[in-house]
A and B are shown apart, each in its own frame.
Chain A
């Protein structure tokens, strides 16, 4: 039989065709599950932004203002003059292709326009056509492209398929950062009223009530009280959780999901237990009750408007410095934008840990410290009594959230904490963690349920690495320090790698924390029995 067969080499000779027409024809099929709904007019109106109206991405007519093209081009011109990043990133790409396979959306969707270089070319081509001499003269030959409604629709589709995770910028020889391009293009789209509800509704809510679900002050207090009650049931200790308390030493700001969503909530319990144990003099604020900044996903101006509350409230309450909870995009804003936008915070003091006396010199201007920095310092100085065996039912891995990793460099603090509070810790493969971490695929305002298929595509590279440690080491808990991760990774992992749950670092800290005067704790913060105790019972 093998006689009749062609040779092996001949059999595996396969020809691949590259699409001939290239990428410059703009056409998008808005398929259900791959885009987010447009912003409701009431939210656009409340924030005082352009062109509030009812429309859907699937509509043929997007009801753009008649002079939309001039508005966009004017907006581009203005931003080219205001942002060196934008002008430079439009100019210097040499299309070497090093970034091509670095985007989680490209890896998961196989759509070539998700290669970072091409995502940027979608707008670079318009830049060349209207803003460079060669493009104005030679048009297509110089890589230029007319700005049409189809191009605008394409921008909407693909720039809401970028999670501003900055992974591509790590590999670019010129540091071109697609996140920067995405932020600018989303600003441009906003000028003509093209935006998504999952960004603008939380933003409007944050602006009005202080948090993204629009929960009002009494609701906020209730949820904190509820957590205090629940923590008492678990530990036998009644902790204090002051709100809007003037004269407290520290203002504590968390992403609002921490007190409204699971599994974030267990992290909130963790904070409360930890603060009680070290006797921290702190306060929440019902006015600045959201650290997460949905403005980052919309425009620099909205980012500034929402971020304003934190310093304003710190000043009003007369605190000395500010502490921030576990959140990704929140920390991008706090670390890289807050001081510039709403500083200087000269009414605050350089942060000093009241327990260890450590000065946080790396935050001496912003006066805002990451909770992982605080806790790592506590553990290093032996201020916490920890029993890692309380977490023995978890086999843990750590997912670096994009922004703390690539917009800050907070890599070792959470790992140091985890190594001290769990006995079974396993890293995912090297090229999927730290500065090379893969995004959850739902950041930057894409984490809405109608966008589920796109999110599942974007989450595949991350989930694939989780699967590896699940199969190899039996990992059953992925920890992270980002509210969006906690909200969306349980969903993605349920589809891609069932059997792995998601939790926060400070949830595990509190599990391991041996508190003074606690009752004989038998369960962790989720109500799961401690393994050691369970074994004792069985014995």
Chain B
């Protein structure tokens, strides 16, 4: 149910954008107003979310330790899985953010009998998640060519590497293929793995379809229904230099792409997609296991009602005495 409704919603958005692009009447809306709104909502919303997390205190020191602690000097300490210093934490976080280390752990299974069905599947979760996120990053960087003039060298270089297969004209870019494949894999996993399907919400599918729509419209523009790149660059440069212009003849497909991207940006801060910002702040990962070495302070600590020794001795005075234990007050 939520699969279809989210798919239809994305298709409706895409169709509206296409129609608007054809008609040409709502170009200003889609080419200027919507992108600016999207950027504002994205930046504002994301910083609000991240600031709110960052501002909320970490009262207790609760890292999850995944290896041997640093204790006696002759015991082999697992400095990466159980860091006791800032450097260790940074590296642990870096591996988490750049390589999704915990997700990879998932695929370490042993004593298997027969074919390794499940084992393989989970390695694919890690692999496709990694492929998706890295492709997305590279594609974003590649898009700098539209926003900066002249195009920076490293962007050209990156694109050259990305297109090393050189199999078609226009040059086939590896990330385009990878991101589509990864997204499709993640989607089919969500649909076919019953556990994951059971826990999936409308919003989970919506995000996937939106990303697929963006990737798909981008690929169509690049390889099949080419749009005028000079004009696209005019739009993009206009946006970043605050002198927006929407030249005629950009092609409706471009508006589909741009509108879906804008929608994604608007949706982003209100959704689980903010996990990007959250991982850096996760107290089970970003703290060193040094809670016995350094005192962690709880900013909202407050006094509590305790049962003091004096109260205890008073209540059990005679029994303590009879048992021959020392007393503070005879």
Interface residues of A, Cβ cutoff 8 Å to B = 16, 18-19, 22-23, 48, 80-85, 87-88, 91-98, 100-101, 112, 115, 117-118, 121, 132-134, 141-143, 166, 169-177, 180, 207-210, 216-218, 221-222, 243-246, 286-287, 300-301, 304-305, 308-309, 312-313, 316, 335-337, 339-341, 343-344, 358, 360-366, 368, 373, 376-377, 380, 405-413, 416, 429-431, 434-435
Query: Is B231's beta carbon under 8 Å from chain A?
Result: no
B side interface size, CB within 8 A: 92
CB within 8 Å for A82 and B67 given contacts A96-B103, A173-B102, A308-B306: no
CB–CB B325/A244 < 8 A: yes
Shortest CB–CB separation between residue B175 and chain A, in angstroms?
21
Known: A133-B270, A173-B102, A210-B312. A376 touches B62 (CB 8 A): no
Closest residue of chain A to B300, judged by CB? A82
Contact of B326 with A by CB under 8 A: yes
A367–B133 alpha-carbon span in the complex (Å) = 44
Residues of A within 8 A of B109 (CB): 431
Contact of A406 among B52, B65, B100 (CB under 8 A): B65
A-facing residues in B199-225 (Cβ within 8 Å): 199-204
Residue of B nearest to A125 (CB): B201
Q: B201 — nearest CB in chain A belongs to which residue?
A: A143
Q: Which of A101, A121, A301, A341 touches B199 (beta carbons < 8 Å)? A: A121
Q: List A contacts of B289 (CB < 8 A).
A: 408-409
The answer to whether the Cβ of B298 comes within 8 Å of any Cβ in the partner chain is: yes
B302-317 residues at the A interface, CB under 8 angstroms? 304-309, 312-313, 315-316
Instruction: Describe A's contact surface by its main secondary structure.
Output: helix
Closest Cβ of chain A to B165, distance in Å, is 30
Does chain A have a CB within 8 A of B233? no
Given contacts A84-B58, A173-B103, contact A308 B125 (CB under 8 A): no
Known: A173-B100, A177-B62. A339 touches B324 (CB 8 A): no
Kindly list the 6 A-B residue pairs having the minimum CB-CB distance in the complex, ordered from nearest: A409-B69, A92-B278, A218-B323, A175-B284, A409-B65, A175-B285
A286-B72 contact, Cβ under 8 Å, with A170-B64, A435-B81:
no
Q: Which residues of A contact B100 (CB under 8 A)?
A: 173
Are B103 and A170 in contact, with the CB atoms below 8 A?
no
Q: How far is the CA of A221 from the CA of B323 in the complex (A)?
A: 7
Q: Is B53 an interface residue (CB 8 A)?
A: yes
A96 near B294: Cβ-Cβ < 8 Å:
no
- Docked complex: B44-95 residues within 8 A CB-CB of A: 49, 52-53, 56-62, 64-72, 74-76, 78, 81-82, 84
Known: A81-B56, A84-B57, A91-B278. A309 touches B307 (CB 8 A): yes
| Cβ-neighbour of B196 out of A96, A134, A361 (below 8 A) | A96
Which one of B202, B278, B293 lies within 8 Å of A88 (CB-CB)?
Answer: B278
Interchain CB contact under 8 A, B202 and A141 = yes
Q: Which residues of A contact B307 (CB under 8 A)?
A: 207-208, 305, 309
Contacts of A171 in B (CB 8 A): 102-103, 105-106
Q: Is the CB of B325 within 8 A of A308?
A: no
B234 located at the interface, meaning its Cβ lies under 8 Å from any Cβ of chain A in the complex: no
Known: A166-B64, A170-B105, A405-B65. Contact between A95 and B201, CB under 8 A?
Answer: yes
- Interchain CA distance A212-B72 in the complex, whole Å: 32
Within 8 A of A (CB), among B260-285: 270-272, 274-275, 278-279, 281-285
Is A18 in contact with B194, judged by CB distance below 8 angstroms?
yes
| Residue numbers in B under 8 Å from A221 (CB-CB) | 323-325
The complex places the Cα of A132 from the Cα of B45 at a distance, in Å, of: 12
A377 to chain B, nearest CB (A): 6
CA distance A244 to B309 in the complex (A): 11
Q: Is the CB of B72 within 8 A of A115?
A: no
A residues less than 8 Å from B296 (CB atoms):
339-340
Max chain A Cβ within 10 angstroms of own Cβ: one of B108, B271, B320: B320
CB distance from B191 to the nearest CB of A (A): 10
A363 engages B292 (CB within 8 Å):
yes
Q: Please measure, in the bound complex, the distance between the C-alpha atom of A22 and the C-alpha atom of B301, giving whole angstroms.
A: 41
Is B56 in contact with A177, judged by CB distance below 8 angstroms? no
Nearest CB in chain B: distance from A94 CB, A:
5
